[in-house]
Amino acid sequence: MKITFARDEADFDLIAAWRIIGQILQKHDSVIGLSTGNTTKGMHTIVSAIYKKYPFDVSGITLFNVDELTNLPREYSGSCYSMILHEIAGPLGIQEHNFIMPPTISDDFTAECRLFEKRLEERGGTDLQILGIGLNGHIGINQPGTPFESETWISTIGPETDARVRRDLNIPKEIVIGGLTRGIKNIMSSRKIILAAKGEHKAEIMAKALLGPVTMDVPASVLQLHPDCEVLLDAAAASVIKSITRNI
């Protein structure tokens, strides 16, 4: 496992953006998995800005997101489909058939999980997977306790996300909002993974994930076992790790 320390948030976003661009330039038919949220929005913005100024070939590139919220409209601004579409897939001009996302509404999500993985496998599997990390150590929407052999499935989302989505869309309590997520086994099958974290609020969990035991209690800890995983941290997210290692 390689750990890259960025000087600050701006440096973090720039490094991450060039990791994505580098993969595109290196392999013109790359399959790239993305993640949504505050950690990744900046890198997507930079990739899109560089592409606008210096266009490069993306005609063979496949993009997807590691997870998606379920039982809400795909057009909702907080859906992973909408965020990836507006932040990077749209600005890069990725064709619809090369933007692979599961539906947000379905009568058979089990079948949709299988179809999602089948479509990725048909493209040759994932070349690069960008991951964020939750405060409890989740990756994708694989919450603590998720078996490492789990395959793409419907998980539960955190209470804060659930409350925000219900507030935004006025969704009644009887409708269960979930998260279709690639399982840990699927994530680990990616040829290269970048685990990205920024902000002081991620410092403690990053130390547990990287320096603690490999355990289902901290799903991200399994990445210690991946043969090609880079961890990208800004100064704030790296603070606890640096403090611990300084005293070893």
Q: What are 3-17's pLDDT values in tens digits?
A: 999 999 999 999 999
Is the confidence at residue 248, as pLDDT, over 70? no
Q: At a CB cut-off of 8 Å and minimum separation 6, what does 125 contact?
A: 31, 189, 190, 191
Query: Is residue 136 packed enough to be buried (19+ CB in 10 Å), middle (13-18) or exposed (0-12)?
Result: middle
**Tell me, what DSSP letter sits at residue 7?**
S
User: Contact 92/58 with Cβ under 8 angstroms?
Assistant: yes
Query: Is residue 154 packed enough to be buried (19+ CB in 10 Å), middle (13-18) or exposed (0-12)?
Result: middle
User: What is the distance between the alpha carbons of residues 218 and 231, in angstroms, rounded to a whole number?
Assistant: 16
Hey, what are 86's tokens? 């507006």
Angle formed at CA 207 by CA 189 and CA 155, multiple of 5 degrees? 45
Question: What pLDDT, in 10s, does the model give residues 117-166?
Answer: 999 999 999 999 999 999 999 999 999 999 999 999 999 888 888 888 88
Q: Provide the pLDDT for residue 153.
A: 98
Instruction: Break the chain into its structural domains and give their ranges.
Output: 2-246
Torsion 27-64-15-213 (CA) sign: negative
* CATH number of the domain located at residue range(s) 2-246 in this protein: 3.40.50.1360
Is the confidence at residue 182, as pLDDT, over 60? yes
Is the confidence at residue 247, as pLDDT, over 90? no
User: What is the distance between the alpha carbons of residues 30 and 25, in angstroms, rounded to a whole number?
Assistant: 9
Question: What pLDDT, in 10s, does the model give residues 196-231?
Answer: 999 999 999 999 999 999 999 999 999 999 999 999
- Among 106-120, 211-225, 233-247, the minimum mean pLDDT is found in 233-247
